[in-house]
């Protein structure tokens, strides 16, 4: 099946889809992105993703001429043209093409690229048995709230997890507090059954899944405490899990060499996972 990408106003086969070598995304990672889930051919939680995109753009003082409505049409078109039923859409906006100079160019048009693909079903073992995470020092910049394409520390962290045979790397700050995963938000459930996840600030990305799961938890009368938690607290928690567009709600049963709770996915995590699944399917 030929795959189609959207590049600056054009739908092109993958082999022909390209941006200029002086695109500032390529030279400076001067851009932002979103990953949106597609469920049954429908874009899930589109509005919060576009809200976050607007915020990232505005924090980097990037202005796009494309309206939200026009962008939504492109996203849907790319899903349709690639016959995506269940998968993801990737959207990237960079400051555009200009002669290399760190400061913003005077006149330059934002480059927009959109791709989409079906995602293979995730191995059942991930959900049934849960996953292991390893910890790494959080060496990122102080604006992790911006969904920037500059992801080197995240890449290094994920590679470390992969080499350790783990699913994800949780990043730990200088005060021994877990900030988030390399591409996921981090959660624990304490002995009282309360959910704990770091509050929104510049140390983490405001995950769209995080927000949806938090809302679902509160609708279930569960207490949600948004505050930093330490690695020690996570190790002593009764449950832990991670959330993201691509990982949904994934149980964490081991942190480094320490088993979390009973070492199997806990009831709170499983209930939230089912609720989130129903939310994605619009049920």
Q: Which of 244, 250, 269, 270 binds ligand PDD (CB under 6 A)?
A: 244
DSSP classification of residue 15: G
Minimum distance from residue 101 beta carbon to ligand PDD (Å): 28
Q: Which of 43, 203, 208, 268 binds ligand PDD (CB under 6 A)?
A: 208
147 noted as active-site residue: yes
136/161 Cα distance (integer angstroms): 9
Q: Is the Cβ of residue 205 or residue 217 nearer to ligand PDD in the bound state?
A: 205
Kindly report the backbone phi and psi dihedral angles of residue 127, in degrees, each rounded to the nearest multiple of 5, phi listed first: -80, -40
Asked if residue 245 binds ligand PDD (CB under 6 A), the reply is: yes
Give Cα separations from 100 to 24, 95, 151 (angstroms): 8, 12, 20
Q: Is the Cβ of residue 87 or residue 207 nearer to ligand PDD in the bound state?
A: 207
Asked if residue 205 binds ligand PDD (CB under 6 A), the reply is: yes
SS3 of residue 237 by DSSP: coil
Asked if residue 236 binds ligand PDD (CB under 6 A), the reply is: no
Q: Is the Cβ of residue 98 or residue 114 nearer to ligand PDD in the bound state?
A: 114
Asked if residue 180 binds ligand PDD (CB under 6 A), the reply is: yes
137/190 Cα distance (integer angstroms): 23
Catalytic residue, chosen from 147, 158, 160, 162, is 147
Q: Is residue 41 a contact partner of residue 84, using CB atoms and an 8 Å limit? A: yes
For the record, the structure tokens of 201 come out as: 């600030």
- Cα 137 off chain centre by: 19
Asked if residue 95 binds ligand PDD (CB under 6 A), the reply is: no
Asked if residue 203 binds ligand PDD (CB under 6 A), the reply is: no
Q: Is the Cβ of residue 32 or residue 208 nearer to ligand PDD in the bound state?
A: 208
16/14 Cα distance (integer angstroms): 5
Q: Is the Cβ of residue 24 or residue 210 nearer to ligand PDD in the bound state?
A: 210
Q: How many CA atoms lie within 13 A of 180 on its CB side?
A: 23
All residues at 6 or more sequence positions from 153 whose CB lies less than 8 Å from its CB, including other chains:
138, 139, 140, 171
Q: Which of 56, 135, 185, 270 binds ligand PDD (CB under 6 A)?
A: 185
Asked if residue 183 binds ligand PDD (CB under 6 A), the reply is: yes
Residues 119-178 close enough to bind ligand PDD by CB under 6 A: 154
Element (H, E) at 80: helix 68-81
Minimum distance from residue 202 beta carbon to ligand PDD (Å): 12
Q: Are strands 42-43 and 177-181 parallel, antiparallel or unpaired?
A: unpaired
For the record, the structure tokens of 178 come out as: 């877990």
Q: Are strands 248-255 and 258-259 parallel, antiparallel or unpaired?
A: antiparallel
Q: Which of 96, 153, 207, 228 binds ligand PDD (CB under 6 A)?
A: 207
Q: Which of 94, 111, 148, 184 binds ligand PDD (CB under 6 A)?
A: 184
Q: Is the Cβ of residue 94 or residue 97 nearer to ligand PDD in the bound state?
A: 94
**Binding region for ligand PDD (CB under 6 A):** 35, 154, 180, 183-185, 205, 207-210, 243-246
Residues noted as catalytic = 147
């Amino acid at each position: 099946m030929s795959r189609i990408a959207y590049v600056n106003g054009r739908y092109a086969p993958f082999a022909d889809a390209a941006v200029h070598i002086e695109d500032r995304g390529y030279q400076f990672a001067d851009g932002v992105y979103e990953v949106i889930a597609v469920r049954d051919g429908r874009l899930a939680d589109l509005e919060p993703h576009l809200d976050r995109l607007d915020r990232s753009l505005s924090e980097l003082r990037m202005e796009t001429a494309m309206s939200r409505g026009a962008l939504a049409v492109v996203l849907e078109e790319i899903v349709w043209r690639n016959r995506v039923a269940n998968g993801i859409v990737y959207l990237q906006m960079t400051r555009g093409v200009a002669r290399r100079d760190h400061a913003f160019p005077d006149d330059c048009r934002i480059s927009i690229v959109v791709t989409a693909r079906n995602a293979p079903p995730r191995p059942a073992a991930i959900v049934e048995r849960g996953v292991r995470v390893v910890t790494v020092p959080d060496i990122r910049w102080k604006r992790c709230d911006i969904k920037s394409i500059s992801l080197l520390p995240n890449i290094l962290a994920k590679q470390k997890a992969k080499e350790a045979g783990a699913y994800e790397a949780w990043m730990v700050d200088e005060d021994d507090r877990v900030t988030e995963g390399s591409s996921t938000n981090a959660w624990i459930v304490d002995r009282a059954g309360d959910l704990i996840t770091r509050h929104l600030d510049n140390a983490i990305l405001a995950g769209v899944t995080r927000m949806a799961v938090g809302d679902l938890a509160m609708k279930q009368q569960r207490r949600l405490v948004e505050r930093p938690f330490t690695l020690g607290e996570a190790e002593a928690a009764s449950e832990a899990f991670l959330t993201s567009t691509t990982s949904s709600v994934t149980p964490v049963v081991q942190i480094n060499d320490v088993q979390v709770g009973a070492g199997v996915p806990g009831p709170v995590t499983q209930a939230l996972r089912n609720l989130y699944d129903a939310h994605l399917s619009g049920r």
